Structure 1
Amino acid sequence: MPPQVFARDTSSLLRWDEVPDDFVECFILSGYRRLHLTAQECLASIFQPTNETLNFWTHFIPLVLFASRFYQVIFQSGELPWHHPALLPLWCYASGVLLTFAMSCTAHVFSCRSLRLRAAFFFLDYASISYYGFASTLAYTYYLLPRLSLLDPAVMTPYLQSLGWHWVDYGMLMGLYSELVLPVAFVLAVTCTVACCKSRSEDCSYPFAIRTFVFAMPLSMACPVMIESLLFDLGRKNPTLFVHFYRRYFWLLVAAFFNVSKIPERIQPGLFDIIGHSHQLFHIFTFLSIYDQMHYVEQGLEHFLKAPHTSPTFQGTVGYLVLLIICLGMVVRTYLKGLSSQKQD
């Protein structure tokens, strides 16, 4: 890009008091792109120093890395053909990971097209995160959870009887859990999207805290792994799962801290407008958390292929995701219709 063009584009950046309120991020004082950029100008801005540039790259680079890894696992592992039913949960998980990174990239690049499109892109961003959360639960349900002693009645019934809990029918409880885990995760995914879309309303006082909290709710689906580590020696039995699982949740806690606290820009407003603000750090630690998650999902797949507990079905995997897409689309459409006239721009 010629120097004069770069300089002209950089000088057109605006301060926080020169853009609509919907554009303003807490403690970010400068580096804002103007409203109504063309699609070509939006794309060109990812190579220019704006306050959205690294928001894009901190998700685009992980998107490429994960796409490459999924390609290797699904198409080049040589163990199974890519269309084998045992890989359906992995296909679902891969679609969730790639979609959430791709949608975030799109939202950050094209958010200055118009106020209405900005809202639409971020509604879709919230929906893609919910989709990813449910897709992760699908992978857990088939690849991880069946191998836990906690969910094995043959192991837990003697354990509970030793505690004097003879009245507990653990087999029935586990049957009920198996039937409800995916429907509950489905409802949580839709509920989280509704709450996050609602958090963009003008009367919402703590939008970042709400979004962080509601997207932490689906993580409760991984509670069996946490309980397993308390009751059984998970670190010895499965060190890969133990290390990567808990490191993943450490990264998520760090990501949540930056997303809610708005540190470091809260400490020195204006200093981190282009590089180093909290949303970029949030992206980085989110990537690290999914990177660790992929390690134990892959290991779970390896164990599943050696001794499959159940055979994944198209209806029980892809069918669920298609229904979820329809429901999330209805949520996004509802909130787009409800945008105030000021956002119809």
Structure 2
Amino acid sequence: MSGVTLQRLSTLTLNLKQLNRLPRLLLDLSPPSMPSPSPTVAVSQVPSLFQEPFILSGYRPVGQDWRCYLLSLFQRHNESLNVWTHLLAGPVLLLRWWVYMGAAGHTLDVTSLPLCLYVLSSLTYLLCSVVAHLWQSHSELSHYSLFFLDYVGVAVYQYGCALGHYFYASEPAWRESGISALYLPGAAFLAWLSCYSCCYAKSRYQRPYPVSRKICQVIPTSMAYMLDISPVVHRLISVPWAREPVMPFHALQVAFFLSAAFFFSCPVPECFLPGRCDFVGQGHQIFHLLLSLCTLSQLEALLQDHTRRRDTVVEVFGEKQLWWACVSFPVLVLCCSLTALLMRRHIQRRLQERLKDK
């Protein structure tokens, strides 16, 4: 092997070592007054509330300064990929929407409102998820409160999807069916119900979680999804794919979501490999990745549908229905936020009572 080749290999090895030390270097560059995150600990060193099935290490200690959890963004722990998968998906989604609006010369008129609300709802759930997974280890109250916020983000995203599917992806035959008249009110109600059910299940059940907790979470969310996706499923079944190039993107969003739902419901593969998936490969990380891919596929499908149908949206639905549908969006956000706030107060009282009993 030549000296030049050996020198290149040596340089490559040095660069890889420096890359592996990047998180540590970033933490060392923080101001002296900024606290540093503590090393991760084993599952036995955190309260049961923070423990995840089959995840045996990589936990951040409870009770650190808030800034420590922010800096743990650059630390290797068992929530790292849960944070980064959604943190990276947000700018990609926003950039794709921004390029679409600029390149096509679209204006923000009433026909683009459902699309804008869909993008806003997607960014909301991604941001809420990042905040929840990054800061939930601070305390018990923070853990509950931030995951309640996460459920609000999911509910908002569900309704944003419903708006996009209803105005851009639905076919005339589906709109003439009985489900069309109840679609948006039903989607709003089921979005709120899924938020409430997830908050209730989180506050009601303690570890080790019974199967009823997962059922309480999955059933309302599944009902919301089946209703929200019904215009797309009808279109996938009834319209020849060769006629519309957007169909593969709609099929992809369905496939990615169903795969994500599986990994959300089942602790796979960590249940077969306890301790081996603590940092990379656990089911919830795969769920986050697949859900991000679902959202990006969904966005691409709605962008193409918007391009094709924006000139007929007002004619088909009427401007009044567009405005009412969009006004209902902040109403849903308010209802879900109040639900999460009430659940937080319930948890706060419960924790205060527990302290008094000690």
CA 1:209 to 1:245, structure 2 compared with 1: closer, same or farther past 3 Å? farther
Shift of 1:217: 1.9
Q: What residue is the counterpart of 1:24 in the other structure?
A: 51
Counterpart pick for 2:105 among 79, 96, 101: 79
Cα deviations by residue, 1:249-307 (Å, 9 ceiling, x for unpaired): 21112112222221111111111111111111111111111111112111110122233
Q: Secondary structure at the match of 1:338?
A: helix
User: Corresponding residue for 1:336?
Assistant: 344
Does residue 88 of structure 1 match 2:113? yes
Indicate yes or no: 2:232 matched with 1:225: yes
2:246 to 218, 240, 243: 240
Q: Which of 22, 33, 51 is equivalent to 2:60?
A: 33
Letter in 2 for 1:41: C
What residue is the counterpart of 2:138 in the other structure? 113
Report the CA distance shift for 1:9/1:79 in structure 2 as closer, same or farther (over 3 A). closer
* Aligned 1:1-345 pairs, distance under 5 A: 1-2=24-25, 12-74=39-101, 76-82=102-108, 84-145=109-170, 148-151=171-174, 174=177, 177-200=179-202, 201-202=204-205, 205-206=210-211, 207-221=213-227, 222-230=229-237, 232-241=238-247, 243-308=248-313, 309-313=316-320, 315-339=323-347, 343=351
Q: How far apart in 1 are the matches of 2:27 and 2:303? A: 49
Cα deviation for residue 238 of structure 1 reads 2.4
Q: Cα offset for 1:247?
A: 2.0
Over residues 141-164 of structure 1, what are the superposed CA-to-partner deviations in whole Å (9 max), with x where a residue is unaligned? 11111xx142365xxxxxxxxxxx
CA distances 1:41-68 after superposition (whole Å, capped 9, x unpaired): 1111111111111111011010110111
* Contact 2:114-2:164 at 8 Å conserved across structures: yes
Aligned length: 317
- Paired residue type of 2:307: E
The Cα offsets for residues 88-125 of structure 1, whole Å up to 9 and x where unpaired, read as 10111011100000110011111122110111110110
Are residues 208 and 273 of structure 1, via their aligned partners in 2, closer, same or farther at CA, if it must alter by over 3 Å? farther
281 and 342 in structure 1: CA distance in 2 versus 1, 3 angstrom threshold: same
2:347 alignment partner, SS class: coil
Distance verdict in 2 for CA 1:273–1:54, change over 3 Å? same
Q: CA RMSD in A?
A: 2.5
Which residue in the other structure is 2:8 paired with? Answer: none
Where does structure 1 lack aligned partners over 5 or more consecutive residues?
154-173
8 Å contact kept, 2:42–2:57:
yes
Shift of 1:195: 0.9
In 2, the alpha carbon distance for the partners of 1:185 and 1:31 equals 38
Q: Offset at 1:228?
A: 4.0
Which segment is superposed worse, 282-291 or 309-318?
309-318
- TM-score, with normalisation over the residues of structure 2? 0.81
Q: TM-score, normalised by structure 1?
A: 0.84
